[in-house]
């Protein structure tokens, strides 16, 4: 009989995307279920992933609501215990975040094996809390900030998780940055309203020097305003949402401006798309800066502080990159070297063997 696994996720796409990748890796070997909160449900095909909703409240969001939230957390923990027993779950995997709290408490209470996943270069607060009680934590590096030394033996380093269709995409071999620039702008699942407002001058500056086409991920509410901007300035553009699959046009991209979510940087690096990472300044524990530094230290990307956008210095920064083709090509080579061992089968084997051995 197959073991039964529950994967908990929710919140942002940064939690949800890796959870769906884990689901696809494990679904043939195990019976796999998935839970999410309402925020994470926006990024999921609920039927495909057999997803159940556990909408955990943010305990610290409002002190006046603390008693109610604690009661609701207790209620969800009881609900989780019944869920685990009804589904006969053997293994619980958390992708981090407070949305996993009631499921974690339930798994610990009825002695279910617990595994964690940490995609960032800073250990998340929920994972830090869960770590003592887990079998293993899947990470992309052993050098995770804030990681307790006494649990370092629990780290299992794996290659970066990517959606399966990424492995069949033709790598970006477009090295021409002399005249035509196809610029990809990614804000992540939460969107980047700063990008939608503060990049306008940079884009108009570039459009006077290069033949420019913009591929931009946007939030729906600002779509008309952004369309008007591009049409007014006669700039070719393609707008898309987080749910849409940007790899569909990846072969055309020769430069990217992006936030520094772990999944996004993994995908861009794997696809050999040179990018400028601009970490979100308010990210918890400054994890986006650490994610970007991981790749910058491997000379796979450029990194810029968010403040530089408001100082209107991004235009000069981009033009310097475009003029320095040797550095540009070196970044592409380093990304290719970094990713060449990342295969679906290698990750699949490591995950399954680890779960079966422990």
Which alpha helices (H) appear in the chain, and where do they start and end? 13-26, 38-41, 66-87, 101-109, 125-130, 193-198, 200-207, 223-232, 262-270, 287-296, 307-310, 314-323, 325-339, 344-357
Structure tokens at 298: 């491997």
50 and 84 in one domain?
Answer: yes
How many CA atoms lie within 13 Å of 157's alpha carbon, on the beta-carbon side?
A: 8
250 and 214 in one domain?
Answer: yes
Does position 307 have pLDDT exceeding 90, yes or no?
A: no
Structure tokens at 336: 């290719």
Count the Cβ atoms, other than its own, within 10 Å of residue 148.
11
- Using only C-alpha atoms, the chain has a radius of gyration, in whole angstroms, of 21
What value does the mean pLDDT take over residues 280-296?
A: 90
pLDDT in tens, 131-169: 999 999 999 999 999 999 999 999 999 999 999 989 988
Does position 194 have pLDDT exceeding 80, yes or no?
A: no
CATH number at residue 79: 3.40.50.2000
212 and 131 in one domain?
Answer: no
What value does the mean pLDDT take over residues 325-331?
A: 93
Instruction: Between 88 and 248, name the one with better pLDDT.
Output: 88
Does position 315 have pLDDT exceeding 90, yes or no?
A: no
302 and 228 in one domain?
Answer: yes
200 and 137 in one domain?
Answer: no
Q: What is residue 282's predicted lDDT score, i.e. its pLDDT?
A: 80
251 and 329 in one domain?
Answer: yes
- CA 17 distance to own-chain centroid: 7
What value does the mean pLDDT take over residues 217-237?
A: 88
Lowest mean pLDDT among 30-39, 70-79, 191-200, 233-242: 191-200
The burial of 122, by beta-carbon neighbours within 10 Å (0-12 exposed, 13-18 middle, 19 or more buried), is given as: buried
150 and 214 in one domain?
Answer: no
Cα–Cα separations (whole angstroms), residue 223 to 41, 141, 183, 216? 22, 38, 18, 10
Tell me the torsion sign for CA atoms 246, 218, 139, 329. positive
148 and 172 in one domain?
Answer: no
Buried b (16+ CB within 10 A) or exposed e, 203-228: bebbbeebebbbbbbbbeeeeeebee
Does position 190 have pLDDT exceeding 60, yes or no?
A: no
Name the phi and psi angles at 132, rounded to 5.
Answer: -55, -30
178 and 142 in one domain?
Answer: no
75 and 46 in one domain?
Answer: yes
Measured CA angle at 292 (ends 288, 295), to 5 deg: 150
104 and 206 in one domain?
Answer: no
Q: What is residue 331's predicted lDDT score, i.e. its pLDDT?
A: 95
Please, which residues bridge with residue 256 across strands? 184, 275
- The residue range of the domain holding 152 is 4-162+343-357
Q: Are 338 and 161 in contact (CB under 8 A)?
A: no
Please state, rounded to an integer, the average pLDDT across all residues of the chain: 89
CA–CA separation, 242 and 247 (whole Å)? 12
Lowest mean pLDDT among 75-89, 186-200, 256-270, 330-344: 186-200
Domain count of the chain? 2
Q: What is residue 281's predicted lDDT score, i.e. its pLDDT?
A: 82
Instruction: Between 314 and 242, name the one with better pLDDT.
Output: 314
Does position 104 have pLDDT exceeding 70, yes or no?
A: yes
Instruction: Between 357 and 190, name the one with better pLDDT.
Output: 357
332 and 187 in one domain?
Answer: yes
Instruction: Between 325 and 85, name the one with better pLDDT.
Output: 85
What value does the mean pLDDT take over residues 331-351?
A: 95
What value does the mean pLDDT take over residues 214-229?
A: 85
Name the phi and psi angles at 122, rounded to 5.
Answer: -125, 130
Q: What is residue 13's predicted lDDT score, i.e. its pLDDT?
A: 80
């Amino acid at each position: 009989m197959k073991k039964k696994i529950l994967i908990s996720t929710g919140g942002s796409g940064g939690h949800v995307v890796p959870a769906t990748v884990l689901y696809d890796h494990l679904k043939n070997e195990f019976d796999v279920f998935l839970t999410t909160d309402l925020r994470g449900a926006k990024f999921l095909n609920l039927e495909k992933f057999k997803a159940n909703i556990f909408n955990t409240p943010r305990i610290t969001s409002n002190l006046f609501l603390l008693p109610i939230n604690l009661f609701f957390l207790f209620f969800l923990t009881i609900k989780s215990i019944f869920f685990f027993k009804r589904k006969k779950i053997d293994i619980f995997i958390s992708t981090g975040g407070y949305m996993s709290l009631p499921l974690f408490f339930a798994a610990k209470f009825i002695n279910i094996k617990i595994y964690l996943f940490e995609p960032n270069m800073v250990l998340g607060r929920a994972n830090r809390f869960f770590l003592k009680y887990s079998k293993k934590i899947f990470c992309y590096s052993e050098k995770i900030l804030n990681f307790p030394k006494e649990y370092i033996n629990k780290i299992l380093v794996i290659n970066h998780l990517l959606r399966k269709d990424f492995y069949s995409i033709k790598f970006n071999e477009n090295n021409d940055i002399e005249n035509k620039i196809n610029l990809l702008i990614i804000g992540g699942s939460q969107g980047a309203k700063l990008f939608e407002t503060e990049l306008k001058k940079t884009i108009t500056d570039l459009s006077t020097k290069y033949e420019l086409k913009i591929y931009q991920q946007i939030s729906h509410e600002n779509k008309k305003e952004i369309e008007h901007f591009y049409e007014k300035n006669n700039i070719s553009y393609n707008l898309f949402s987080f749910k849409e699959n940007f790899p569909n046009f990846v072969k055309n991209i020769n430069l990217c401006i992006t936030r520094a979510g772990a999944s996004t940087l993994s995908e861009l690096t794997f696809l050999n798309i040179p990018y400028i990472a601009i970490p979100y300044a308010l990210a918890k524990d400054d994890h986006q800066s650490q994610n970007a530094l991981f790749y910058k230290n491997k000379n796979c990307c450029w990194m810029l502080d968010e403040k530089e956008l408001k100082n209107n210095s991004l235009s000069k920064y981009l033009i310097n990159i475009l003029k320095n083709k040797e550095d540009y090509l070196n970044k592409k080579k380093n990304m290719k070297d970094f990713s060449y061992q990342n295969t679906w089968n290698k990750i699949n084997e490591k995950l399954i063997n680890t779960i079966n051995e422990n």
